[in-house]
Amino acid sequence: MNYKDLIRNPEIREYYRRGSANLDALGYTDHSIAHTKLVAEKAVEILRAFGYGEQETESAWIAGILHDIGNAINRNHHAEYGALLANEILKETDLSIGDRVRIVSAIANHDESDGVVADPVAAALIIADKTDVRRSRVRAKDPILFDIHDRVNYAVTGTRLECDAEQKRITLFLTIDESICTMYDYFDIFLGRMTMCSHAARLFDAQFSLNVNGHRVL
């Protein structure tokens, strides 16, 4: 099985369609397949940068694609719900039990509220997910209706994640329009996520840094 075909799986696409509808009703930013595909790609890039091979990168791709399907059930505990749904889907593949459980565990632990960084796949998924901050994640709406999450994402006009295994550093570079949101706004909603990224980076024996508008702030 080509695991990149998962993105075209009709069951997975329906979970994301329903999850997007649920989050739209709640006013959340984009958590569609566009987000999960970007997360999967970033997670693979992180693992490759630190020298991991095909087994880990394939698991990271699958975890990235499936990590937010739990939003179809409920936003609260979406990571755990997503892990259960993913397990049922992956039982139908030729994945080994060990790889399937590793993927399911990474999905279950990707939320900053109660997640645990246990292995490289989980660490890569967490960093890839938590650093997806960009203007295009804001759903089309009147800016007057923006909440703080919308405003912070909309203020980000440029984003780049850089992994330097030699320097043992993972850096998120952001360009932020500070007339739209301040750094206080950013850390108000992202401090927990950046802290989780720091924990995840340690698994690669690396340090996580945040650079905003050319200045290191974390």
Q: Residue 140 pLDDT more than 90?
A: no
Q: pLDDT (tens digit, 9 = 90+) per residue, 4-46?
A: 788 899 999 999 999 999 999 998 999 999 999 999 999 999 9
User: Which residues have a Cβ under 8 Å from the Cβ of 84 and sit 6 or more positions away?
Assistant: 70
According to DSSP, the residues that pair with 210 across neighbouring strands are 172
Model-level pTM greater than 0.85? Answer: yes
CATH fold of 3-216, please? Hypothetical protein af1432 (1.10.3210)
The token duo for 6 is 């998962």
Q: pLDDT (tens digit, 9 = 90+) per residue, 162-176?
A: 999 999 999 999 999
The token duo for 183 is 């750094």
Query: Any idea where the domains of the chain sit in the sequence?
Result: 3-216
d(CA 180, CA 196): 25
CA 53, 58, 64, 69: dihedral to nearest 10 degrees?
Answer: -150
Give the amino acid at 199. Answer: H
Angle at 212 between CA 207 and CA 213, to 5 degrees: 140
Percent of the chain clearing pLDDT 90 (strictly above):
91
